[in-house]
């Protein structure tokens, strides 16, 4: 295969992607363009620019972009409309960020006439799949370079040697092995590897990056009111806010109250099980509130349909198929159900739990007139239930009759 | 329709079913047989016997049965193998008890040659459906009498008048309206109606029947280890116990720590929304632990399949189709997946949350050799991922190529 | 309940609905408005007008409407996008017409200020459900009158007596019982009842109303080319046509070649099984052709998703839930998948079978370059398959390893 | 990787697998063990033995096994219980044979202490995946050799040169390219490649290997009665037969009547579309008859559940996951539903169609008493339908009320 001439690299400014940057230059002799996204990971990005310059990247080849609003509006919120949970528990915080990054890599590649994109994900994980499926779906002729699957820098020692030989600065705390690996964005922080590798060992508190250990959460509960329009959060405590602002605020509240910590062993798309610790403070509150508003505004038919396709939808996102016809078709279904998911939910935040305690809406389907234990003025005729039950029972009776008849013959 | 001659009544000993008992006698002139089940609702049952005697029931027609082990072993545990949650949140505590009661009613009817069974559920709720579908499925020729749908005792006043006219003792606290209605068994307590009817109002603490308000839970976390065999809990902290004993123990722990309280607006089978407060202390711990053990012992293929059919399974139970071919077929699927769901989970109980913190099993599928960040000695060849991704991407590339071709033509 | 003042009746002009018309007038003393739809059932509708006049309906209260294009465009075609088959075989020809009729009944009721609508379906079938659910979904305050469930005209003799007493003309061939009951529209003709009631008896040829018995079909095959745009048929043999014209043409071809006859025992929504003979000549060709064009234009991901939700979609239509949020959400999913279902299919019609023999499209995803047995010039690297298989196998290997380990311990 | 010492080869006796045999010997210097299965492909197998001997295989290393009964009993029949169709149309004739072959390869490998198995499938198709996933699932430490993915015999010319250089006899008709590629077993014959590669071209009649072109089928229909027990065919026209005998008989009938020919463009697991012509004469009759018997013996609840999971089940088999926990769990579900699928179906065979015309069973759920148009003696109370419909409509009314309320506010 020919060597690539221009490569757009997903560049964090950290040691690993700096080594990749240098390796691309030396291995392929190619021009490198960097893309560094502010996904709300909570780090300064200007050092990434300086480091890129220092590694010889031309200023016009350095792209640092604040994608927080795009991330929440076009990726996180559509996913939350589905109440998506992978394997019943995981809020997909890492999975949902990858397609966005690939989209920017491909767009920048087109703008620069680059022939390849590169990422820093290893060959064991899900992220390589997510980056690459997204890139190929957006540009079937793009080339994706995954240095971790190609190079021979297979040990920490070799990586550090390569860094030193290439004048890549190594922060003191990166000399040794990190005790675990971290990924972060506005939706979540994930930690995995090393000290977390044995699922029979409890994770130590120092693994938590952004949520306070629940024992340290305040003794006083906090109430928050979240307002939704067509399935998306639009206001907190009555104040309208942009998508990213809403998630940022909820993160603050959730982190303070120890909310959204998950210790999970999950099934990777590449076939193995892995253990991760996830912190999704704002997302956990948002999911609870979205369920709360759906409870009064979403019909049983649409709701049960959504529930039944949710696991598949979540699996598609987890596996990297965001940009696929089947995810888009499911999204069309989900979005259709959200037309009346409008209203407000009060959630109580306390010691690691976000719990819906009240909800109201002009779009409510809840009918106190029908459900009341009091006299209902004819809203509901209890005698209807007799026919309803008898016809629902008819096939069960026919089965029982048949079974008895067959049994009697034996 | 002819009047029934012998009727088996699901009898709690309370005011309402005592009125029903009397009404059956007076309305139909029939012999009444009572069935009172100890489902773990936490009430003395001997008073029910005395009251039945007082209301003229012959001793041989009074059946008081401890069904707790049967309930947990044959109903609760099979359901928990599925991680069943109705509408994402409800643990089905009331739903799962109804078919068992119907089964006993029908069995007793057969033993006594009775031609009907009767229950005290109203015409607005799900329980009438559950009782009756179960009864008809077990005996297609049985007759089910639902006095609430038939009689003209349509107000509290009329009920009390009927009671007085028939010498039915009325406890002082039953004179006024209860502020809400309660159902309880070993799995859960549910409260609904009256003060709970407006879903925009927070429920007052006094609604809670068995779980302490989370603010009053201990400041010290408690750890519990639950051992599973083929999907069922068999031991707590290393001590083997019967199913009902396990659930009772977990209830004790959960109640103390404020665990398992749910404020939900749900969709009833009969077409309306209703609001309930559910307390499922032990069940909430059990679900968390069962998920924890599945995480390491259940394969992704079987696990995702289970997840995808769970909403339907839960809906069937909620709607009263426990004794249906489709529930049984789904159960066969679920049970098949549980053959290796064996091992132990440690769950941390603290301030309303039960959280898996560790799990281990001889049946584990977790392979540290494959997932490790360290040198894996060839367990996994990262280069395989390249082909895996390329073939998964192939159809996405073909789509993108097609779409570009079509767009170019326009 | 109060008597209705104005009722819109779905009126065919036949004996049964004429009796209903009269019964509504005499039973309720109400004004009757008639709605007679040309659904392509192949009958003259002017006699219905004359008969309505004769029965005392004011001319301005008689509505005869040609709804054929609306029927095919807004009901049949959206359904065919889904390849909908109830219980694997039934093309839903009756089910899909009912919501359209209800829509017109409700619209006319609004225009006339009528307080009720009425239909001639019996209390045993699915049609009553379909009519009524549709009407209630479109107007929750409308009243639906189903005379067959209300009146005491429970035998043929009583009906004829009522007709004679009310000067309703009775065609000679209606004096005796029809040997079976027929429903027809542009999509299909269904026959059921009486001579068809024993599913162990073959149906006699005279049951067929529109399709020739296959033995009488021509010995010469006929080829037809159907062109689709976004999932809908738009041309036959290169000639653009309206939806109803397309279905009419295909009906002609299919009928001639003995295509689309189905002898089925199906499960009614009301709980019993029934046996019907269905003739869907054009629809059967259309389904085959739609599948043919999807084969080359629809991606596996979207296609398998569609397949998996199709049974539920078909069941919703069969059960009468056309105007429900869940049908509409599924439709959004299906329509999303049809954006590129554009191209042409050649179908061979011969002796009862419609078989796709060729298909081509500018939107094709079929890539001869990839699939060819010849040298593929690098389009596909066979070595990729090794990694693809190894990662797909990984979890199966881990399972086998675990199972062997567990077995060895025993 | 080390060279394998002993390899079990799936050997047909044809040119391609003979070349593989020789290539294994020369490339790896390994001992080769051959496995040739009589799957009902309709070829003499003794020539395969002679050829193997001629190529230097020791007699004790040659395994020729008649697996027809095993194939139909343990693979085909379980699959037919599900009415499995891939992408709505394909009866999975090739897919279902592969796991059986892998099972024998692995068993023979264990018996001989071999360290690898080998197959002759190419790197573009599904069969490689099916062979290998099955092998790995049965023995996670087995090595699978796929010469087509490894060697450099990438053209017909090179293959023939290799054959000549190694004294492999080449049948005259194998000198040139075959116009298409064929796979056959008792269930079906598939043809693909070369003259079939353009899906816009009709396939020529000479492609058909076992079914007569429909124009040449007899002008006289044939009736066949198939009896089922628990979902499996056990007798034809009243005569009990073994599974393979039944399928053989039905193949004879179907082939004569032009039944079971399918021209399909399908989606391969490896990501591309391919076109095949499938002949499944007996299987097509069997599917029709199985559906026929299910129509009267299977309840709607179980039947609709089966329908809803069928696409996934079929996809699993197509993709090679026969030996997977999820296929086995689905099988448990399916088998559970078949307990009463017992009875007889009469199918009419005529000019390419197999059509159920009658069915009867002691296990029938069909109740003429309920469905009859005649007086039903109280079996069914039409008034029940009113309540049934009203409660089914309740949520639709609440939605319509809500929507009108919201619209009015705007």
B271, B329, B334: residue with CB nearest D337: B329
H or E, element range at C345: strand C343-350
Six-digit token pair at A293? 């508003």
Confirm whether residue B238 is marked as ligand binding.
no
Question: Cβ of B394 and D305 within 8 Å?
Answer: no
Burial string for D347-381 (b: 16+ CB within 10 Å, else e) reads: bbbbbbbbbbbbbbbebbbbbbebbbbeebeeebb
Residue to test with chain D: of C371, C379, C392, C397, most D Cβ within 10 A? C371
Task: Give CA–CA dist D202/C359, Å, rounded.
Answer: 9
Instruction: Write b or e for each residue in A274-295: b if 16 or more Cβ atoms lie within 10 A of its Cβ, otherwise e.
Output: bbbbbbbbbbbbbbbbbbbbbb
Written as one string, the DSSP assignment of A115-176 is SEEE----TTSSHHHHHHHHHHHH-TT-EEE-HHHH-S--SHHHHHHHHHHTT----GGGSS
Structure-token pair, residue D85: 């169709």
Report d(CA A52, CA A44) in Å as an integer: 14
**Residues D188 and D278 sit within 8 Å (Cβ to Cβ):** yes
- pLDDT of D180 > 90? The answer is no
Quick: pLDDT tens for A266-320: 999 999 999 999 999 999 999 999 999 999 999 999 999 999 999 999 999 999 9
Q: In this predicted structure, what is the pLDDT of residue A356?
A: 98
Calpha distance B243→B231 (Å, rounded): 12
CB C310 within 8 A of CB C333: no
Strand bridging mode C189-192 / C273-279? antiparallel
Nearest CB to B325; choose among D301, D324, D328: D301
Show the 3-state SS of chain B: CCCCCEEEEECCCCHHHHHHHHHHHHHHCCEEEEEEEECCCCCCCHHHHHHHHHCCCCHHHEEEEECHHHHHHHHHHHHHHCCCCECCCECCCCCCCHHHHHHHHHHHHHHHCCCEEECCCCCCCCHHHHHHHHHHHHCCCCEEECHHHHCCCCCHHHHHHHHHHCCCCCCHHHCCCCCCEEEECCCCEEEECHHHCCCCCCCCHHHCCCCCCHHHCCCCCEEEEEEEECCEEEEECCEECCHHHHHHHHHHHHHHCCCCEEEEEEECCCCCEEEEEEECHHHHHHHHHHHHHHHHHCCHHHHHHHHHHHHHHHHHHHHCCCCCHHHHHHHHHHHHHCCCCCEEEEEEEECCEEEEEEEECCCCCCCHHHHCCCCCCCCCCCCHHHHHHHHHHHHHHHHHHHHHHHHHHC
ipTM for the complex shown? 0.96
**HSE (side-chain half, CA atoms, 13 Å) at D191:** 21
Q: Whole-angstrom Cα distance, residue C337 to residue C310?
A: 13
B122 annotated to bind ligand: yes
Q: Can you tell me the distance from the alpha carbon of A24 to that of C410, in angstroms, rounded to the nearest whole number? A: 53
Q: Quick one: residue C84, left, alpha or beta (phi over 0 = left, psi -120 to 50 = alpha)?
A: beta
pLDDT in tens, B345-377: 999 999 999 999 999 999 999 998 888 877 777
Distance CA B334, CA B342 (A): 15
Which of C390, C396, C407 has the most B C-beta neighbours within 10 Å, making it the best mutation to test the interface with B? C390
**A174-209 residue pLDDT tens:** 777 778 889 999 999 999 988 999 999 999 999 999
Name, in order, each residue with C-beta under 8 angstroms of D408's C-beta and a sequence gap of 6 or more.
none
CB of C149 within 8 Å of any CB in chain A?
no
d(CA B246, CA A68): 48
Q: Do B351 and A356 touch (CB under 8 A)?
A: no
pLDDT digits (tens, 9 = 90+) for A40-82: 998 889 999 999 999 999 999 999 999 999 999 999 999 999 9
Q: How far apart are CA A185 and CA C318, in angstroms?
A: 47
Summarize the confidence of residues D273-290 as an average pLDDT.
98
User: Any chain C CB within 8 A of the CB of D216?
Assistant: no
Would the CB atoms of C332 and A330 count as touching at under 8 Å?
no
Chain B residues touching C367 at Cβ < 8 A:
398
Where residue A170 falls among pLDDT bands split at 50, 70, 90?
Answer: confident
| Chain C residue at shortest CA distance from D194 | C373
- Residue whose entry in the numeric block shows the structure tokens 């198995």: D117
Q: Which residue among B271, B391, B393 sits closest to D391, beta carbon to beta carbon?
A: B271
Task: Classify strands A273-279 and A189-192 as parallel, antiparallel or unpaired.
Answer: antiparallel
d(CA C61, CA C35): 9
B312 phi and psi, to 5 degrees?
A: -70, -40
Q: How many CA atoms lie within 13 A of B139 on its CB side?
A: 21
Could you count the other beta carbons within 10 Å of the beta carbon of residue B229? 15
**Contacting residues of C for D288, CB less than 8 Å apart:** none
Q: Which of A126, A123, A124 is nearest to A98 (CA)?
A: A126
SS3 category, D362: coil
Q: Above 90 in pLDDT, residue A368?
A: no
pTM of the model: 0.97
The pLDDT value recorded for residue C170 is 86
Residues 6+ apart with CB under 8 A from D207: D180, D191, D195, D196, D277
pLDDT digits 0-9 by tens, B187-200: 999 999 889 999 99
Instruction: Please give the torsion angle defined by the CA atoms of residues D107, D110, D111 and D115, in that order, rounded to the nearest 10 degrees.
Output: 120
Of A272, A326, A336, the CB nearest to C329: A336
* % of chain B exceeding 90 in pLDDT: 89
Report pLDDT for D321: 98
Of A301, A309, A334, the CB nearest to C325: A301
Count of H-run helices and E-run strands, chain A: 14, 14
Contacting residues of C for D401, CB less than 8 Å apart: 140
Over 90: is that where the pLDDT of C389 sits?
yes
> Which DSSP symbol is given to D37?
E
Is-contact C366 D275, C-beta < 8 A? yes
Q: How far apart are CA B295 and CA A94, in angstroms?
A: 19
How far apart CA D231 and CA A145 sit, in angstroms, is 52
Relative orientation angle of helices A98-112 and A127-138, to the nearest 10 degrees? 40
Q: Looking at residues B27-53, what average pLDDT do you find? A: 94
Neighbours of D307 (CB within 10 A): 20
CA gap D364, A402 in Å, rounded: 7
pLDDT of residue D178: 79
* Cβ-Cβ contacts under 8 Å, C270 against chain A: 391, 394
Dihedral angle sign, alpha carbons of residues D294, D298, D303, D306: negative
Q: How many contacts, defined by CB atoms under 8 Å, are there between C and D?
A: 272
Which residue is closest to C340 within chain B, CA to CA?
B403
| Residue D302, helix vs strand vs coil | helix
DSSP 3-state of D156? helix
pLDDT, tens digit (0-9, with 9 covering 90-100), for C199-230: 999 999 999 999 999 999 999 999 999 999 99
Distance of CA C354 to the CA centre of its chain: 18
Taking the C-alpha atoms of residue D142 and residue D131, their distance in angstroms, rounded to an integer, is 12
D268 annotated active-site: no
Q: Which tokens sit at C115?
A: 């307080």
CB < 8 Å to B295, chain A? 87, 199, 264-266, 273
Query: Which residues in chain A have Cβ-Cβ distances shorter than 8 Å to D405?
Result: 362
Q: Which of C81, C102, C127, C232 is catalytic?
A: C127
Residue with structure tokens 């465009």?
Answer: C73
Contact B325, B100 (CB under 8 A): no
- Tell me the average pLDDT across A353-370: 95
A351-355, B164-168, C285-289, D311-315: the lowest-pLDDT one: B164-168
Strand, coil or helix: D317: helix
% of chain C exceeding 90 in pLDDT? 89
Q: What is the DSSP letter of D181?
A: E
Residue with the two structure tokens 């079976």:
C180
Tokens in use for B136? 């008809």
Domains and CATH numbers, chain C: 6-67+95-175 (3.40.50.620), 181-298+340-360 (3.90.1260.10), 370-405 (no CATH)
Q: Give the span between the Cα atoms of C402 and D1, in whole angstroms.
A: 25
Could you say which of A107, A115, A181, A346 is catalytic? Answer: A181
Which residues 266-305 on chain B approach chain C with CB closer than 8 angstroms?
Answer: 299-301
Classify the phi-psi angles of C387: left when phi > 0, otherwise alpha if psi is within -120 to 50, otherwise beta: alpha
Confidence of residue C156 (pLDDT cuts 50, 70, 90): confident
* Residue C313 marked as a ligand binder: no
Write the Ramachandran bin of A378: left for phi over 0, alpha for psi from -120 to 50, otherwise beta: left
User: What's the CA gap between B268 and B275, in Å, rounded?
Assistant: 10
């Amino acid at each position: 295969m020919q060597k690539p001439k221009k490569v757009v690299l997903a560049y964090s400014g950290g040691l690993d992607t700096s080594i990749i940057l240098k390796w691309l230059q030396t291995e392929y002799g190619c021009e490198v363009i960097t893309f560094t996204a502010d996904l709300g990971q909570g780090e300064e990005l200007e050092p990434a620019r300086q480091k890129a310059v220092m590694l010889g990247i031309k200023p016009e080849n350095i792209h640092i972009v604040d994608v927080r609003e795009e991330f929440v509006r076009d990726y996180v919120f559509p996913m939350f409309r589905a109440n998506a949970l992978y394997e019943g528990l995981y809020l997909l915080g890492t999975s949902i960020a990858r397609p966005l990054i690939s989209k920017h890599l491909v767009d920048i590649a087109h703008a620069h006439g680059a022939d390849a994109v590169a990422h820093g994900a290893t060959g064991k994980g899900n992220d390589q799949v997510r980056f690459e499926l997204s890139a190929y779906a957006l540009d079937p002729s793009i080339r994706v370079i995954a240095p971790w699957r190609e190079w021979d820098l297979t040990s920490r020692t070799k990586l550090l040697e390569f860094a030193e030989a290439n004048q890549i600065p190594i922060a003191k705390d990166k000399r040794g092995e990190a005790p675990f690996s971290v990924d972060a964005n506005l939706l979540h922080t994930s930690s995995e590897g090393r000290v977390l590798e044995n699922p029979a060992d409890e994770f130590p508190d120092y693994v938590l990056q952004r949520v306070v250990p629940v024992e340290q959460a305040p003794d006083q509960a906090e109430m928050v009111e979240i307002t939704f329009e067509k399935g998306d959060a639009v206001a907190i405590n009555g104040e309208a806010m942009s998508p990213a602002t809403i998630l940022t605020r909820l993160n603050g509240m959730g982190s303070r109250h120890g909310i959204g910590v998950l210790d999970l062993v999950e099934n990777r798309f590449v076939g193995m099980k892995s253990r991760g610790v996830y912190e999704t403070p704002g997302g956990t509150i948002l999911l609870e509130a979205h369920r709360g508003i759906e409870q009064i505004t979403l019909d049983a038919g649409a709701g049960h349909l959504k529930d039944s396709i949710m696991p598949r939808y979540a699996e598609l996102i987890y596996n990297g198929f965001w940009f696929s016809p089947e995810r888009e078709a499911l999204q069309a279904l989900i979005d259709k159900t959200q037309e009346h998911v409008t209203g407000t939910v009060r959630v109580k935040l306390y010691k690691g739990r976000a719990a819906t305690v009240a909800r109201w809406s002009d779009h409510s389907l809840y009918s106190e007139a029908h459900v009341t234990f009091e006299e209902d003025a004819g809203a509901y005729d209890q005698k209807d239930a007799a026919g309803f039950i008898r016809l629902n029972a008819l096939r069960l009776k026919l089965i029982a009759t048949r079974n008895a008849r067959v049994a009697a013959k034996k």
